[in-house]
Amino acid sequence: MTTYGDLNIIPRTLLGPGPSDVHPRVLQTLGYPPVGHLDPQFLDLMNEVQDLLRFVFQTENALTLPVSGTGTAGMEAAFANFVEPGDSVLIGVSGYFSERMVDMAGRYGAHVRRLDRPWGEVFTADEIEDALRTQPAKLVALVHAETSTGALQPLADIASVVHRHGGLLLADCVTSLGGLPVQIDAWDVDIAYSGTQKCIGAPPGLAPITVGPRASEALSQRKSKVSNWYLDLTTLAQYWGPARAYHHTAPINMNYALREALRMIQEEGLEARFARHRAHAELFWAGLEEMDLGLHVARQHRLPTLTTVRVPAGVDELAVRKLLLERYNVEIGGGLGALKGQVWRVGLMGYSSQPRNVLLLLAALREILGR
Amino acid sequence: MTTYGDLNIIPRTLLGPGPSDVHPRVLQTLGYPPVGHLDPQFLDLMNEVQDLLRFVFQTENALTLPVSGTGTAGMEAAFANFVEPGDSVLIGVSGYFSERMVDMAGRYGAHVRRLDRPWGEVFTADEIEDALRTQPAKLVALVHAETSTGALQPLADIASVVHRHGGLLLADCVTSLGGLPVQIDAWDVDIAYSGTQKCIGAPPGLAPITVGPRASEALSQRKSKVSNWYLDLTTLAQYWGPARAYHHTAPINMNYALREALRMIQEEGLEARFARHRAHAELFWAGLEEMDLGLHVARQHRLPTLTTVRVPAGVDELAVRKLLLERYNVEIGGGLGALKGQVWRVGLMGYSSQPRNVLLLLAALREILGR
């Protein structure tokens, strides 16, 4: 068979929809020798990771932990645990990841009702309330930060509507957690999940999830076993809680890295970190406007973490991305689903959110597009 | 909130049931800066990882890839994809992980039939055939290397029996792959999975799985969608195959590390590696016998990778493990389930399988037990 040489990867500047660049401190911590998943030292680290996750989620939820998979495993954990066959689920669909929610909820036997909007738009509390008045839902799922469109779904006034109609609110925070406010307790969101590889600043491999008291109560009232053994939150909570009952072997090194990344968020401070993400997004948007490039999402609903740039007429979007990658070692993303070929997706998240990256990308785009 | 300091973990020598020690080359590779999951460089690396996994699984199976979770996610992927509600599944149960299979298969709606044996024993082809003659099964599941008991289930003559009765053979190779022969093609095993943190020599975080032609055909004939979106092998194969269709963000760094660990297996050679695991197990067993310590599994069924040592009467098994950890920074495991309190579990796997580790553990046990 072929004999393979040393890993020989040209480093990139990651300005796509994720993974984002990882600070050397986090990478160094990732490579520390593993200890066992029941080693008292690792159990202490688990407590620290949970405490730091609560800080970033702005919650006191006891059931807050990283599940052992990438962001999509967070989505899977949410639907596997909070949907039973026959449950009515309402999903606001205006992007690729809310479409994924529809597919996933259906696989767990939910009666899914869709509330559709064009990709890049968001939902109002009134729309959700109207839909629930027609027919209540056990679970309402929204994407807080839609990675496919760059739209920011306001959540602050949604939970009260959902609760008034007896449901639980589930929010996908993959592209928001650690980069913009995610106030689980203040907004009264019942279930939220994220990934480590975007605004958190760690490599991909873990999916933080948090579950509030209403949702924990619902979990304890389930009639059927969670069909997904690996992501069963009730048994996971026995490993992450005081019982420390063995469930599965945790990805030790990824938890080292997550701890370090969260510690860096703590050092920076949440407000400063959000301001940094906002400032560099503004800088990037201003540069795009100077080049007369259009943005897909209206300013008031625009994510500071992920920007969708309209591809100008006559420009080959893939060719531009290839040039960025090959000539400058800069990665940005293309459009997904309904936006395929129409937008570029630029992430300024975590360690990638730096002025030097904004300047570099703007300069490279100027050169390639001749603007 | 509490301010946390630098990661401050005392390194251990990992001689438990896994994770095992990881070679510095693999840890260094783990910490290399991530690139995107659709970067051409990463796509090339995926091909290399698949090729190297086929080498270790001794198979030509096209559908061979690491799923993005730890070993249990491999088990989950196997049952999620190859069980449909109402399917008859026969499981040979003689340890903790085969019990887990029963639970998991049931959650996916299988009619599970158990073939029970005392923990530490294995099944013969005749027993399987008798059971299938009474009632056929779509899937027969066995644990090749039972991490809870230290028993090695022979597989070479089982597949023909299972196939004669129209079923598929699924094997858990978590504690065997990379440490002793796993000959997927020669033995005609249809589905097998493993974990990276034992004999493969990488940190925990990925679960290699391989699927043969009969099982691939069965997958294409499913009537229902796989309820587990994250581990749906049909869509995963579109990302790992030539289509390169985005599925989920792969754990980039873990794949770097897996490639390096597999490359080290290739450098060592499979036969030499198996001989090394065997030789150090024999060395350890001889030392235990000198100390008059009993082994739980009869020699002909004993795993070279994981040894279950009987706790002598009057000895506090937990106290011994605590002393090993606190005084010598050596981790071994305790008994699980039916063997709780009765055995110690000692893994000599991957980079942990070294003469110096055998000598150290024997000396420490001699000192602690006064033998």
Q: Which two tokens stand for residue A279?
A: 């400032």
Name the band, by pLDDT with cuts 50, 70 and 90, for residue B199: very high
In chain B, residues with a C-beta closer than 8 Å to the C-beta of A251 are 70, 203-205, 251, 254
C-alpha triplet B51, A334, A341: angle, nearest 5°: 120
The CA–CA distances, whole Å, from B34 to A11, A24, A278, A356, B251 equal 8, 11, 24, 19, 9
- Distance of residue A242 Cα from the nearest chain B Cα, in angstroms: 18
Mutate to test the interface with B, among A227, A258, A263, A318 (most CBs of B within 10 A): A227
Q: Is the pLDDT of residue B350 over 90?
A: yes
* Same domain? B262 vs B297: no
Residue A1 in any domain: the answer is no
C-alpha dihedral, B69 to A31 to A177 to A89, nearest 10°: 0
Partner-chain residue, chosen from A27, A33, A205, that has the shortest CB–CB distance to B11? A33
Cis peptide before B24 (omega within 30 of 0): no
Q: Please compute Rg for chain B using Cα positions.
A: 21
Residue B227 in any domain: the answer is yes
Domain count, chain A: 2
Residue in chain A lying closest to B205 (CA)? A251
* Same domain? B46 vs B178: yes
* Same domain? A214 vs A292: no
Residue B211 in any domain: the answer is yes
Q: Is the pLDDT of residue B1 over 90?
A: no
Q: Are B53 and B76 in contact (CB under 8 A)?
A: no
**Residue B136 to residue B143: CA distance in whole angstroms:** 19
* Same domain? B316 vs B187: no
State if pTM tops 0.95. yes
- For chain B, give the percent of residues with pLDDT over 90: 99
**Residue A368 to residue A366: CA distance in whole angstroms:** 6
- Distance of residue B10 Cα from the nearest chain A Cα, in angstroms: 8
* Same domain? B249 vs B292: no
Concatenating the DSSP letter of every residue in A174-214 gives TTTBTTB---HHHHT-SEEE--SSSTT-S-SS-EEEEE-HH
Q: Is the pLDDT of residue B364 over 90?
A: yes
* Same domain? B251 vs B277: no
* Same domain? A118 vs A236: yes
Q: Which two tokens stand for residue A177?
A: 């957690």
Residue A3 in any domain: the answer is no
Residue B360 in any domain: the answer is yes
Which secondary-structure segment (H or E) carries B130?
Answer: helix B125-134
Q: Which two tokens stand for residue A312?
A: 């100008």
**Residue A176 to residue A171: CA distance in whole angstroms:** 10
Given B250, B266, B282, which residue is the final one in a domain?
B266
Given B231, B266, B301, which residue is the final one in a domain?
B266
Residue A97 in any domain: the answer is yes
In the 3-class helix/strand/coil scheme, how is B237-288 assigned residue by residue? HHHHCCCCCCCCCCCHHHHHHHHHHHHHHHHHCHHHHHHHHHHHHHHHHHHH
**Residue A77 to residue A362: CA distance in whole angstroms:** 38
Q: Which two tokens stand for residue B109?
A: 């709606």
> Can you give the pLDDT at residue A9?
98
Partner-chain residue, chosen from A7, A72, A197, that has the shortest CB–CB distance to B32? A7
Does ipTM exceed 0.90?
yes
For position A361, which CATH number holds? 3.90.1150.10
Phi and psi torsions of B248, nearest 5°: -140, 165
C-alpha dihedral, B253 to B255 to B259 to B264, nearest 10°: 70
For position A35, which CATH number holds? 3.40.640.10
Q: What are the pLDDT digits (tens) for A219-240?
A: 999 999 999 999 999 999 999 9
Q: Are B344 and B333 in contact (CB under 8 A)?
A: yes
* Same domain? A255 vs A279: no
* Same domain? B211 vs B238: yes
> Can you give the pLDDT at residue A310?
98
Q: Among candidates A131, A117, A194, A121, which has minimal Cα distance to A167?
A: A131
Q: Are A310 and A296 in contact (CB under 8 A)?
A: yes
Residue B355 in any domain: the answer is yes
Q: Do B229 and A103 touch (CB under 8 A)?
A: yes
Q: What are the pLDDT digits (tens) for B249-278?
A: 999 999 999 999 999 999 999 999 999 999
Burial of B279 (0-12, 13-18, 19+ CB in 10 A): middle
Q: Do A4 and B266 touch (CB under 8 A)?
A: yes
> Can you give the pLDDT at residue A349?
98
| Sign of the torsion angle spanned by Cα atoms A206, A212, A217, A222 | negative
Given A245, A266, A287, which residue is the final one in a domain?
A266
C-alpha dihedral, A252 to A257 to A258 to A263, nearest 10°: 130
> Can you give the pLDDT at residue A1?
80
The alpha carbon of B80 is separated from its chain's Cα centroid by a whole number of angstroms, namely 18
* Same domain? B250 vs B277: no
* Same domain? B188 vs B165: yes
Name the band, by pLDDT with cuts 50, 70 and 90, for residue B360: very high
Helix, strand or coil, per DSSP, at residue A172: strand
| Average pLDDT over all residues of chain B | 97
The one-letter code for the residue type at B109 is G
In chain A, residues with a C-beta closer than 8 Å to the C-beta of B197 are 34, 249
Q: Which two tokens stand for residue B159?
A: 């597949």
**Residue A149 to residue A193: CA distance in whole angstroms:** 19
In chain B, residues with a C-beta closer than 8 Å to the C-beta of A222 are none
**Residue B85 to residue A222: CA distance in whole angstroms:** 19
> Can you give the pLDDT at residue B96?
97
* Same domain? B161 vs B235: yes
> Can you give the pLDDT at residue B98?
98
- Those residues of chain A that have pLDDT short of 70 are none
- Report DSSP state, residue A364: H
Average pLDDT over residues B274-284: 98
Q: Tell me which residue range forms the domain holding B355.
A: 13-18+270-369
Residue B1 in any domain: the answer is no
